[in-house]
Amino acid sequence: MGVIVGPRVIHAGASLFSVLISPVAVAAGFPSPAQDYFDGRIDLNAHLIKDITSTFLVRVTGDSMEGAGISDGDELIVNRALEPRDGAVVIAVLDGELTVKRLRITRTGVVLQAENPKYPDIHVPALSELTIWGVATRCLHHV
């Protein structure tokens, strides 16, 4: 269904990730024997998070967004300061219920679009209460 399990606050100054980085791109085809070394560290906070004061992590449950590469158990990096735009993956609060969907703004109204054919799009009724809680910027996907 694409339901969100409560956001986790990312505290300023907190280090989520600091990992080794390869100096070259990794081929998805044949491996190169020369690529067996690493070149220092990269701070994934700086790479993944643009505004620490408005960024949260949310864990996704359900499979309604699989077509967008978002699976059950994945964590989304969500920026609450970004303006939601047509086509963005958003965390929406519709009549008090949290959900992750693709935002579609049409002439006839707002649609929260699932990315799985098993789930219908949600055409937001005019009298419904809709809040876009934040815009997803990255998906931390388990492999």
Enzyme catalytic residues: 64, 101
Nearest-angstrom CA–CA distance, 97 and 87: 20
Task: Assign 59 to helix, strand or coil.
Answer: strand
Residue whose C-alpha is closest to residue 131's, from 86, 75, 100, 91 = 91
137-53-79 Cα angle (round to 5): 20
Cβ proximity of 67 and 119 under 8 Å: no
Q: Residue 53: exposed, middle, or buried by beta-carbon count in 10 A (0-12, 13-18, 19+)?
A: exposed
Residue 28: what residue type?
A: A
